[in-house]
Amino acid sequence: RMWSMKYFLLVASPAVAYGFAPSFGPLAGKGGNKAPSLRAASTPLDLTMAARVPFIAGNWKMNPTSVEEAISLAKAIADGKGSSKAQVAICTPHPFLAACKPHLDKGGIDLGAQACYFEQKGAYTGATSTSMIRSVGAKHVIVGHSERRTVFHQTDEMVNQIIHKVLADNMLPILCVGETKEEYESGLNTQICAIQLAKGLKGVSKEDAKKVTIAYEPVWAIGTGLVCDASVAQDVHKFIRGWLANMYDQETADTIRIQYGGSVTPDSVDELMSKPDIDGCLVGGASLDPAKFTRIMNFK
């Protein structure tokens, strides 16, 4: 496919601005395609990296369909955490936040929300503010998930406003970035991530950036059953950490946790978590199955 020069400059410039060469061409995968060149150095295996506690977050999306089912699921997940070495959070639909919290607390699991708005209150029908979410005990908020971007037309500018609001209210954002299937097949994965990171973290201080978790979610692998090879995911995570080092500094980049999200399963979690720049997983469908999520929480 031919790309216009205007689009080339739009996509390449953020990566170039932060010290990365554009990496056009198909990404490695089935069919023997070559992986794009990634200049960012992977995180050194030092004490800074060891201090990044693994973070597994479950995203229930618009599930289940009743508070009774939500409570039952929360209890089962809390029972399954056991001696997991990871920090774990469950992001429930807003109506279930308060009901699930005491049951998740028993298992040492954090409560998170799936979305919020950037205004505190007002005439915004259907919106939920950070103060509302925080008042029922939520600690984390997913920001910029691909489904919010595509289904609800959330822009990068809105994502940035929400990030600032979440941080201002002393909550912890999980900022999602990632490419579509078309962008993936055109080798634009790192460029898209660079654009979304630059816009999403605009104006965020180094101190606040350390409170943000980045979730790399290749859109083509979300809810599709398609698998992103762990080595490919590691390459993108390495790029993201290098981008953060250029944006802030190496110490900040080494502090920020980067999750992988995209059809994570019990069969894929161990290999993903063995990679040096993958610090956790943002789990969708498997978080609705206590047995599967228990295995993911207790990765090897």
Instruction: Give CA–CA dist 56/52, Å, rounded.
Output: 12
The whole-model pTM stands at 0.85
Considering the candidates 103, 179, 217, 237, report the single residue annotated as catalytic. 217
Secondary structure (3-state) at 68: helix
Considering the candidates 140, 145, 183, 237, report the single residue annotated as catalytic. 145
Establish whether 182 is a catalytic residue: no
Over residues 15-30, the pLDDT tens digits come to 433 334 333 222 333 2
Secondary structure (3-state) at 208: helix
Over residues 239-271, the pLDDT tens digits come to 999 999 999 999 999 999 999 999 999 999 999
Domains of the chain (ranges, CATH numbers):
65-297 (3.20.20.70)
Over residues 92-113, the pLDDT tens digits come to 999 999 999 999 999 999 999 9
Note whether 156 and 200 are within 8 A (CB).
Answer: yes
Establish whether 217 is a catalytic residue: yes
